């Protein structure tokens, strides 16, 4: 989470030392970076499907709260994904 939040390496090391005082921070950071790298290897079709489902859910929530401008943006995004 700290890496995704954009924390500096020094802040991440400090957070690791606070959370897990006995742990060596370097292997933990390396493992986290490895997982982030693996996350980038997803199939494009899978990502497109996830984005479609997320947009559809956001559309549903925006309609429920009456935010029609955001709902319209979600519809446009879904239409753009359809090509």
Per-residue pLDDT tens over the stretch 32-83: 999 999 988 888 888 889 999 999 999 999 999 999 999 999 999 889 988 7
Is 68 domain-assigned? Answer: yes
Alpha carbons 39 and 28: distance in angstroms, whole number:
17
Q: What is the per-residue pLDDT for 7?
A: 92
| In a domain? residue 4 | no
Q: How far apart are CA 52 and CA 54, in angstroms?
A: 5
Alpha helices (runs of H) in the chain, residue ranges in sequence order: 9-19, 25-39, 44-65, 68-82
Residues 70 and 52 in one domain: yes
- Give residue 23's pLDDT: 93
Question: Could you tell me the pTM of the whole model?
Answer: 0.54
Mean pLDDT of 16-21: 94
Contact 11, 2 (CB under 8 A): yes
User: Does 31 lie in the same domain as 56?
Assistant: no
Q: Is residue 2 part of a domain?
A: no
């Amino acid at each position: 989470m700290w890496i995704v939040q954009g924390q500096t390496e020094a802040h991440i090391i400090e957070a690791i030392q606070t959370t897990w005082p006995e742990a060596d921070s370097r292997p933990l950071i390396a493992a986290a970076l490895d997982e982030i790298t693996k996350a980038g290897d997803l199939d494009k079709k899978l990502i497109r499907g996830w984005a479609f489902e997320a947009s559809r859910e956001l559309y549903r929530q925006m309609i429920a709260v009456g935010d029609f401008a955001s709902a319209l943006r979600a519809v446009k995004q879904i239409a753009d994904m359809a090509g």
